[in-house]
Chain A
Amino acid sequence: MGKEFKAGCARPTGGPVGGKQKEALSPNNENVKEEKQMIMVGQKAPDFTAPAYQKGKFINVELSDYLGKWVALCFYPGDFTFV
């Protein structure tokens, strides 16, 4: 589905697509603690791009590529954890 990429030494990263970028500094140059919020049902799922491993390949996944399909998006604490 996503585009294959060549894995280099730098660890590939992704992140949210569009929307507001995290503001590092407030107007007073103080660090702003980002407010945590749960997303709402009935609202659009925030788009993101992320590197992925699928069947022997490293690919880039963008959630918006899946428009038109049902998606089950599952987060989990970590590889090689037990549950």
Chain B
Amino acid sequence: MFQELGVEVLSMSIDSVFVHKMWDDHELSKMVDGGVPFPMMSDGGGKVGTVYGIYDDDAGVETRGRFIIDPDGVVQGFEVLTPPVGRNVNEALRQIQAFQLVRNSKGAEATPSGWRPGKPTLKPGPDLVGKVWEVWKTDLAFD
């Protein structure tokens, strides 16, 4: 799915590349055919995580930070969760699709709350001021 959208996935934790290999060999390859396809990066000491503001130096681990970076290297969005709660992959994909749409429209279109592919976008401009209620209904915020 990420591939279809032309998105490169990179993962990072404080574990060594040797532990990454063992995890992939012994567990992840049993969940995913052929094992993990993307680079599993090692951030011993949390130096990179610290720069990204998601390294917990009391616990000595990275928190669940997820950053969407566009082709210019600009961070378009991030989400950070504490360790016990997993992410929603569909939400990450939805956000990437929204950012891609906005970028392809060169900023002419914006995606309102609850947008997903197929739902209407908004075209910000003088004519839309005070008129959003005419073209966008609150039902659209929900699936």
Q: What is A's interface to B at a CB cutoff of 8 Å?
A: 1-2, 7, 11-16, 19, 34, 36-48, 50-55, 58-59, 61, 63-64, 66-81, 83
Taken together as a complex, chains A and B put the C-alpha atoms of A73 and B78 apart, in Å, by: 9
Contact pick for B20, options A34, A36, A53, A81, CB 8 Å? A53
Residue contacts A-B, CB under 8 angstroms, 9 given: A12-B42, A52-B41, A53-B24, A54-B36, A66-B73, A70-B68, A72-B2, A75-B66, A77-B64
Say whether B6 contacts A69, CB under 8 Å.
yes
Contact pick for B51, options A46, A55, A70, A72, CB 8 Å? A46
Closest A residue, CB atoms, query B42? A51
Say whether B66 contacts A55, CB under 8 Å.
no
In the complex, B96 has a CB within 8 A of chain A: yes
Q: What is B's interface to A at a CB cutoff of 8 Å?
A: 2, 5-24, 27, 34-45, 47-54, 59, 61-78, 83-87, 92, 96, 99-100
Say whether B47 contacts A14, CB under 8 Å.
yes
What chain B residues lie within 8 Å of A81 (beta carbons)? 83
What chain B residues lie within 8 Å of A39 (beta carbons)? 51-53, 75, 78
Minimum Cβ distance to chain A for residue B86 (Å): 4
What chain A residues lie within 8 Å of B72 (beta carbons)? 67
Say whether A79 contacts B19, CB under 8 Å.
yes
Say whether B6 contacts A75, CB under 8 Å.
no
Say whether A61 contacts B47, CB under 8 Å.
no
What chain B residues lie within 8 Å of A68 (beta carbons)? 71
Taken together as a complex, chains A and B put the C-alpha atoms of A41 and B66 apart, in Å, by: 12
Taken together as a complex, chains A and B put the C-alpha atoms of A35 and B14 apart, in Å, by: 21
What chain B residues lie within 8 Å of A47 (beta carbons)? 73
